[in-house]
A and B are shown apart, each in its own frame.
Chain A
Amino acid sequence: MLSVRGLTKSFGGFVAVSDVSFEVSEGELLGLIGPNGSGKSTTFNLIAGTLKPTAGSIRFEGEEIGGLAAHQVCHMGLARTFQIPRPFRKLGIRENVTLAAYYGRHGRVGRDEAEALAVEALETVGLPSDAATTTEGLGAAGLKKLELARALSTQPRLLLADESLGGLDVAEMDQAAEMLERIRTEKGITIVWVEHIMGVLMRVVDRVIVLDHGEKIFEGLPADAARDRRVAEVYLGTQH
């Protein structure tokens, strides 16, 4: 479904992502992990169109999307969330999501339909769907849910979830992981989940890719990742 080949991004002399390749198949829940500065967020921003790749190709359902603008990527059916939630504070919760439903579908839905999609997305993530509630009362978990609802309302076939769990407590983390799993199974949306907290992610994902210093150092089952020497080194430091 998504095919990344030789993806490279350099900022001046610094190479943030170096020759990374991987495939995501339809219906998969893929984890993309790595410590801070490993290039996972950059990879993610390259796919979402927020950054333009220096080299390499990104194909989504057979079409090249590398270098497209963010809104075009969204129109193709690829939605994203942000690591640090970026709600539109001037708009209410439902208006935030309605906006995404309306523009995310690129004029293919009317205003009423967008509103209905927004209510549905808000119910999926468990946020109030009335028109009056503002974003003011939302805590870290609520804002992350809003990010998710906004992404879902654009009716994506592939969801890029960026570090969904940062800033959450253990119960909230479990809840969030469960929600991603549910979105995958109930809505049939393929998910790439970027995260630096390994624990919860490893229980849920089908497959995991580990990045370090902009390079892919592991790809495979979560159980194998836990036994992999290089992954352990990256996360725990070198043992002598």
Chain B
Amino acid sequence: MMTIRWPLALLFAVLLLLPLGLQDYLLHMAIQILIWGFVYTGWSVMGRFGQVSLGHGAFLGVGAYTTALLWNNFGLVPWIGIPIGVAFAVLLALVIGYPCFRLKVVGHYFALVTLALSQVVLLSIVAARDITGGSLGMTPNSVGQSSWLALQFTSKMHWYFVALAVWAFGLWVWVKVDRGMGRAAMEAVSEDETAAAAVGINVTREKLRVTVISAAMTAFGGALFGQYQMYLNPETLSGIGVSLQIVFAAIAGGMYSLLGPTVGALLTIALTEGLRIGFGTTLIGAANTIYGILLILFIIFMPRGITGFFGAWTKRRAATAAATT
């Protein structure tokens, strides 16, 4: 594993020094990339094993809204609110996952169940407009100054380092899952559940394990994003739109490699911003159309995503170089 350690250490060094030279706008981009990179990494923890969830927006929404509602209504600080939001998301993952996995709802059917889930959460948030503000969204009560306790910062610099730490934590979780026996078990499960069970793998348990990790990370990312934006909107934090964006980013970036989902975040944020700057408000909603088209292209031509594609490409080049010398 020495091969990936050096570039990674270098990357971290650059990321630690990066904010010194960035204006607020670029810092804002960087923070979003890190938070979404964390969420996409969370999705790929289960997505890479063929557990395709089209409903991660549900976890995002549960995490963000729970945290904000507890803060606004009961004055519970995010340090307590986020764990509770994550716990709710985990509970939701178990309630949906357990019957699906026990009854062998797999592949497309599982994807459809999750798709419905994200929409149920969206509609619930909108329906409970008295407490959530419905489709107009809601704003967490501001303390008016930087406060670690309330997890609100007036300076982008603070947020950058918070986001960086959380993102790094996400990578650590990904590596943990990747190095454990659980990875081999899930590879086996994704290929042949019957054969996996025959060698003693508790298929339902292994699937629930990655689903719960994935849901928890996503809820955490959602809560953090809500805190950062200081504005929660059901369309951006739940429902099909954001759920598909997560899927697109993870697949396009490359869900089989550590940094793939982060590359995906870079791509989606750049795309959204590029469209906003280039076309202003005339093309609102165009991003989703472009995601859709790109997703199709990626699945056909680069199923392992950008990182997977370049990984294979550098390997091929190294092989040809070795062959010619």
Confirm or deny: A82 has a beta carbon within 8 angstroms of a beta carbon on chain B.
yes
**Complex alpha-carbon distance, A71 and B199, angstroms:** 7
Q: Is A111 in contact with B188, judged by CB distance below 8 angstroms?
A: no
* Beta-carbon contact of B200 and A74 below 8 Å: yes
Tell me if A104 and B200 are in contact (CB < 8 A).
yes
Q: How many residues of B contact A (CB 8 A)?
A: 18
Residues of chain A at interface, number, CB under 8 A: 32
User: Which positions 172-203 of chain A face chain B at CB distance < 8 Å?
Assistant: none
**Which residues of A come within 8 Å of B, CB atoms?**
48-50, 69-71, 74-75, 79-80, 82, 86-91, 95-96, 98-100, 102-106, 111, 114, 150-151, 154
State whether A70 touches B188 (Cβ < 8 A): no
CB distance from A55 to the nearest CB of B (A): 23
Q: Which residue of A lies closest to B204 (CB)?
A: A69
Taking the complex as formed, is B300 at the interface, i.e. its CB lies under 8 A from any CB of chain A?
no
CA distance A104 to B184 in the complex (A): 14
CB <8 Å contact, A88 and B200: no
Please give, as numbers and ranges, the residues of chain B lying within 8 Å of A69 by CB-CB distance: 197, 202
Interface string of B176-192 (1 = CB under 8 A from A): 00000100110110111
Contact A100 B199 (CB under 8 A): yes
Contact A71 B188 (CB under 8 A): no
Residues A86 and B181 in contact, CB atoms below 8 Å apart: no
Top 5 nearest A-B pairs (CB, nearest first) are: A100-B199, A70-B197, A104-B200, A86-B195, A74-B200
Chain B residues near A70 (CB-CB < 8 A): 194, 197-198
Interchain CA distance A166-B4 in the complex, whole Å:
45
Judged by DSSP, the binding face of B is helix
- Do B184 and A98 have beta carbons less than 8 Å apart? yes
Residue with the highest number of chain A CB atoms closer than 10 Å, among B184, B192, B203: B184
Whether B199 lies near A104 (C-beta < 8 A) is: yes
Known: A88-B192, A99-B181. A82 touches B187 (CB 8 A): no
Q: Could you say which of B184, B194, B200 has the most chain A C-beta atoms within 10 Å of its C-beta?
A: B200
Q: Can you list 21 A-B contacts with CB-CB less than 8 angstroms, sorted by A residue number?
A: A48-B198, A49-B197, A70-B197, A71-B198, A71-B200, A75-B200, A80-B198, A88-B188, A90-B187, A90-B188, A90-B191, A91-B184, A91-B187, A91-B188, A95-B184, A96-B188, A98-B184, A99-B185, A99-B199, A114-B181, A154-B200
Given A90-B188, A154-B199, 12 other A-B contacts at CB below 8 A? A50-B197, A71-B198, A74-B200, A79-B199, A80-B198, A87-B195, A88-B188, A91-B184, A99-B184, A99-B199, A103-B200, A151-B199
Chain A residue at minimal CB-CB distance from B195 = A86
With A71-B203, A103-B200, A105-B200 already in contact, the answer to whether A82 and B195 are too (CB < 8 A) is yes
Most buried by A among B184, B188, B198, B203: B198
